[in-house]
Amino acid sequence: MDFDTLFEAQIKTLKEEGNYRIFAELERQVGAFPKARSHDPDGPEEVTVWCSNDYLGMGQHPKVVKAMQDAVGACGCGAGGTRNISGTNHQHKQLEAELADLHGKEAALLFTSGYVSNWAALSTLGSRLPNAVILSDALNHASMIEGIRHSRADKVIWKHNDPEDLDRKLAALPANATKIVAFESVYSMDGDISPMAEIVEVAEKHGAMTYLDEVHAVGMYGPRGGGVSEELGLADRITLIEGTLGKAYGVMGGYITGSEPLCDFIRSFASGFIFTTALPPAVAAAARVSIAHLKQSQMERARQRMQVRKLRERLNAIGIPHLDNPSHIIPVMVKDPVKCRQLADILMQDFGIYVQPINYPTVPKGTERLRFTPGPLHSDEDIDHLVMALTTLWKRCAIAHAVA
C-alpha cells in the first residue's frame, strides 16, 4: 500500500476546502517586537506581528532575557531528565512557589505546556476520582477535551457560558457522582469572558469541584496578573486554576495551582508529568522573573488595553466587522475560509502585516476570522497602517462592511 497517497489525498481535500495551514517563517529580534524578520521568499523582509500570544511582549523584556541568559550560564541548557528521576531543579521549585503565590494557593505544579497541563490534570482527575463526571463548557479548548476523553470519565457538555444549563445538568447527576466543572475565563477565539461568579455559585451549590483554565488571562487581568479569577476576587473559591507561561509571560510551559493534596495527587499519578522531560531551568528562571515583574508593574497591561481600545474604535469607525467582547482579543469576521486565507496572504505580501487566518476546525465553518491581539509595543502608526490595509482589502475583496 502506498501510504503517501493516502496522506496526500486528505491534504488535497484540506486545501480545496481552504483549511490547509501555511506557516510563515519569522525570526523574532530582541528589542524590535512586534516587528520580525520574515524568511518567506514572496514577502517583505520585515513584518509587523499582529497575532502573537506574547500579549505583553514579555518574551523580549530585558529582565526576562537576562534571567534566562544568566540561568543558562549558571546551570546549562537542559533539566537533566524527568522531574521524577533527575530533573527537579531549584528553579522549578522557585517558580512553583511564585505561581502558588500568584493565585493564592498552597501549591503549584509545572508542566511542559498549557496543553499538557490541561490534558494531564483532567485525565488524571477523571480517571482516578470515584464516579467522576466532568461537566465541560461547550467551547472548551482542545487540550481540555482531550484530557476529558482520555480520562474515560462520564462527560456532560453544558451550553457555553450558561450557568442555568450547568445548574440543570448538575442537578440531574446521581448523588454519588464526583462532579468536576471545567471551564475557561477568556475564550481565545471569540474573546468572550465567562460569567465566573455565577458558575462558581452553581458549582458550590452542587458540591462540585471547579477547574478553571486561565491561560489567556494570566498576566493580563487582576492587580497582579492572577487572571479574571483574581480580578473578580474568586480565586480562593476555585479548586484548581490552570495557566500557561507561553502567552502573557512570554516563555513556555504550563501549570496547575491548588491545595497541597491536589497538586501532590496530580504529581503522583499524571503520566503527562511523570514521564516527560522537565522544563529547562533557564526557562523556569525567566518565567519566574516575568511573573514577578507583572505582579508589580501595571504599565504593560495599561498600555496594552489602551491600544486594544484604539484599534476597536478605528474598526468601528470604518465598519470592519469584529466581535464585540470585553477582552484583549479582536476577531475580525470574514466568514469564508478561502477569503480569509487570501486576506492574510495579501496583508503579509503587500502590507507587511502578519496575521494568521483562523479557519475550521479551530472555529466552526462559516465563522472564519482574522484574530488580532494588539499589544503594548504596537505603536499608533502600526494601528494606522493596519486600519488602512484592512480598509483597502475589504473593498478589493468585496466583503460587506458591518459594525459588530
Q: Is the pLDDT of residue 404 over 50?
A: no
Q: Judge contact between 317 and 332, C-beta under 8 A.
A: no
Q: Is the pLDDT of residue 233 over 80?
A: yes
pLDDT in tens, 145-199: 999 999 999 999 999 999 999 999 999 999 999 999 999 999 999 999 999 999 9
Report pLDDT for 123: 98
Cα 29 to Cα 117, 156, 255, 303, 386: the distances in Å are 29, 45, 27, 21, 21
pLDDT in tens, 362-376: 899 899 999 999 999
Question: Of 335, 390, 395, which is closest to residue 359 (Cα–Cα)?
Answer: 335
Average the pLDDT over 68-88 and give the result: 96
pLDDT in tens, 23-64: 989 999 999 999 999 998 878 999 999 999 999 999 999 999
What angle is formed at CA 177 by the lines to CA 176 and CA 183, rounded to 5 degrees? 155
* Max CA separation in the chain (angstroms): 62
Report pLDDT for 398: 58
The residue written with cell numbers 505582579 in the block is 295
Distance CA 44, CA 352 (A): 6
Q: Judge contact between 378 and 306, C-beta under 8 A.
A: no
Report pLDDT for 354: 97
Q: Which residues contact 276 (CB under 8 A, 6 or more apart)?
A: 82, 111, 112, 116
Distance CA 104, CA 100 (A): 6
Predicted TM-score (pTM) of the model is 0.95
Average the pLDDT over 308-326 and give the result: 95
Q: Judge contact between 65 and 271, C-beta under 8 A.
A: no
Catalytic residue numbers?
247
Q: What is the DSSP letter of 325?
A: -
Report pLDDT for 400: 53
Query: pLDDT band at residue 1, thresholds of 50, 70 and 90?
Result: confident
Average the pLDDT over 63-74 and give the result: 98
Report pLDDT for 43: 80
Provide the mean pLDDT of the chain: 95
C-alpha cell at 130: 470515584
Report pLDDT for 403: 38
Q: Is the pLDDT of residue 133 over 90?
A: yes
3-state class (DSSP) for residue 241: strand
Q: Buried (b) or exposed (e) across 148-167, using 16+ Cβ within 10 A? A: bebbebebbbbebbbbebbb
Average the pLDDT over 12-22 and give the result: 87
Q: Judge contact between 257 and 103, C-beta under 8 A.
A: yes
Q: Is the pLDDT of residue 402 over 60?
A: no
Distance CA 323, CA 308 (A): 13
Report pLDDT for 85: 94
Segment among 41-45, 121-125, 242-246, 294-298 with least mean pLDDT: 41-45
Distance CA 205, CA 339 (A): 47
3-state class (DSSP) for residue 228: helix
3-state class (DSSP) for residue 36: strand
Q: Which residues contact 138 (CB under 8 A, 6 or more apart)?
A: 157, 158, 159, 160
Q: Is the pLDDT of residue 397 over 90?
A: no
Adjacent-strand bridge partners of 49 = 354
C-alpha cell at 10: 486528505
C-alpha cell at 397: 475583496
Range list of β-strands (E), 317-385: 330-333, 353-354, 357-358, 369-372
Report pLDDT for 22: 85
Report pLDDT for 32: 95
C-alpha cell at 153: 470519565
Query: pLDDT band at residue 279, thresholds of 50, 70 and 90?
Result: very high
DSSP 139-207: T--HHHHHHHHHHT-EEEEE-TT-HHHHHHHHHTS-TT-EEEEEEESB-TTT--B--HHHHHHHHHHTT
Question: Of 81, 10, 50, which is closest to residue 311 (Cα–Cα)?
Answer: 50
Average the pLDDT over 332-339 and give the result: 90
DSSP-derived pairing of the beta strands 107-111 and 46-49: unpaired
Per cent of the chain over pLDDT 90 is: 89
C-alpha cell at 239: 479548586
Report pLDDT for 401: 53
Q: Which residues contact 66 (CB under 8 A, 6 or more apart)?
A: none
